[in-house]
Amino acid sequence: MESKGGGTYLPFSNFYFWYFAFVGAFFPYFGLYLDWLGFDALKISVLLAIGPLSRIFAPYLFGLIADRFGFHKHFLLLLSSSAMVFFLILQTEMAFLSVFAVLVGFSSSMSGILPLAEAQTFRVLGERSLLYGRIRLWGSVGFILTAVLTGFFFEAKGLSSFWITIVIFLLTLVISISLMPGVADRKIRHQPVPALKVFTVPGVTMMFFAFFVMQMSHGPLNGFFSIFLKDLGYSKTSIGLLWGIGVVAEIILFFILPKVLRNYSLKQVLALSALLAWFRFMLIALYPNNPLLLAVSQVLHAFTFGAFHAAGIAAVNRVFTDNSAVRGQALYTSISYGAGGGAGVLLAGSCWSSFGGAWVFTGGACLALLAFFLVLLVREVLD
């Protein structure tokens, strides 16, 4: 691990590992779990959209509190413990509205964890922010291990074991947060800097609109890729492996990301990532029965998520400074993964039964192409 001032980045690498280990066990299979519970495509899309939509307001609220009082791991412990309690309530015999209510509490608790941790990671890194990829890659390692291994596990044991598996991973997340440093390394002002004033800077609004559209384009992938593959006859093991391929590519990218960000502008990285997202979704739409081309599409995850996310938070970190940093990352999460991701999942779910998966992924490709042109229109802040 890299060191700074006698400290270590190990607690943050450990956090990212277990946070995304949970994501790897939850994200590829939760839609399948809801399908196993008997919900139709529209209800599944509504339930899956709760997570992204909860990120519209909750992260900013939590970020405002953190910017006002400083970083405290007890706050993160409260959020992660609350998420675990809500998920413990979830039972297979619950009706749709009961599941909806539980997931609102669960998702609201989860939505504040990553933005707060991201802001603290950048605060500790300081001028060595290019090392972020080396720390964040441990999240990718955690994701791929659990995405693949739980795929084998659910293939053998069935989705009835999904609930207890997620509870266990949530417990490990709580433990990993307890090992993080808990003292703010900066003086907290009594009056937080108004974060929304940053949107008066030329190019910032257009940049956030591009983030919104890019994540909206991922709605079919985030909500229905696993169901799409299952309906085509792919096994849970194959589904887990395909998700894993994408994260392996992401890990490789994170090793070279500091060099990439030194040699290319943020606009170039974001634009290329959006263009590759268009290509990725068209591959899925046109060749869903070709495992090799599906694997190629998943390799592109390194850019469509990994590079785009890293360049995106770097851009946000550039324009949100001082004690608006946490709220800046929260706004990034709220507008892109929250509003954009939620709208994308809802749109995909509403169109799924009428148009089919291939056309829905084609729509996602069109949105990714729009994000590409929006990035090109951004001035100053990305150059």
Q: Check whether 343 has a pLDDT greater than 70.
A: yes
For 257-311, write each residue's pLDDT tens digit: 778 888 888 899 999 999 999 999 999 999 999 999 999 999 999 899 889 988 8
Strand partners, 4: 7
Of 16 and 65, the structure prediction assigns the larger pLDDT to 16
* pLDDT at residue 295, rounded to an integer: 95
* pLDDT at residue 191, rounded to an integer: 53
The burial class, CB within 10 Å (0-12 / 13-18 / 19+), for 208 is buried
The SS3 call for residue 297 is helix
Distance CA(240)–CA(238), nearest Å, equals 5
Q: Could you tell me what percent of the chain has a pLDDT over 70?
A: 86
Of 41 and 219, the structure prediction assigns the larger pLDDT to 219
* pLDDT at residue 216, rounded to an integer: 95
For 21-34, write each residue's pLDDT tens digit: 999 899 889 989 99
| Enclosing H/E stretch for 174 | helix 162-178
pTM across the whole model: 0.75
Q: How many residues does the chain have?
A: 383
For 169-179, write each residue's pLDDT tens digit: 999 999 998 88
Q: What is the DSSP letter of 187?
A: P
> Which residue bears the tokens 């441990």?
138
Distance CA(30)–CA(24), nearest Å, equals 10
Confidence of residue 80 (pLDDT cuts 50, 70, 90): very high
Confidence of residue 67 (pLDDT cuts 50, 70, 90): low
Residues 138, 33 contacting (CB under 8 angstroms):
no
For 99-136, write each residue's pLDDT tens digit: 999 999 999 889 888 877 877 777 777 666 666 767 87
Dihedral (CA of 170, 173, 175, 177) sign:
negative
* pLDDT at residue 3, rounded to an integer: 43
95's CB contacts (< 8 A; 6+ apart) are none
* pLDDT at residue 328, rounded to an integer: 76
Q: Which of 3-12, 37-46, 96-105, 194-203 has the lowest mean pLDDT?
A: 3-12
Mean pLDDT of the chain, nearest integer: 84
Please give the domain boundaries of the chain with CATH numbers for all domains. Answer: 11-183+190-377 (1.20.1250.20)
| Enclosing H/E stretch for 4 | strand 3-4
Of 162 and 196, the structure prediction assigns the larger pLDDT to 162
Query: How far apart, in Å, are the Cα atoms of 3 and each of 6, 106, 116, 133, 177?
Result: 6, 35, 21, 15, 19
Mean pLDDT computed over 221-248:
89
Q: Could you tell me what percent of the chain has a pLDDT over 90?
A: 37
| Closest residue by Cα to residue 223 from 343, 354, 303 | 343
Residues 88, 167 contacting (CB under 8 angstroms):
yes
Residues 298, 238 contacting (CB under 8 angstroms):
no
Strand partners, 7: 4
Cα 117 to its chain centre, rounded Å, is 13
Confidence of residue 4 (pLDDT cuts 50, 70, 90): very low
* pLDDT at residue 332, rounded to an integer: 85
Q: Check whether 207 has a pLDDT greater than 50.
A: yes
93's CB contacts (< 8 A; 6+ apart) are none
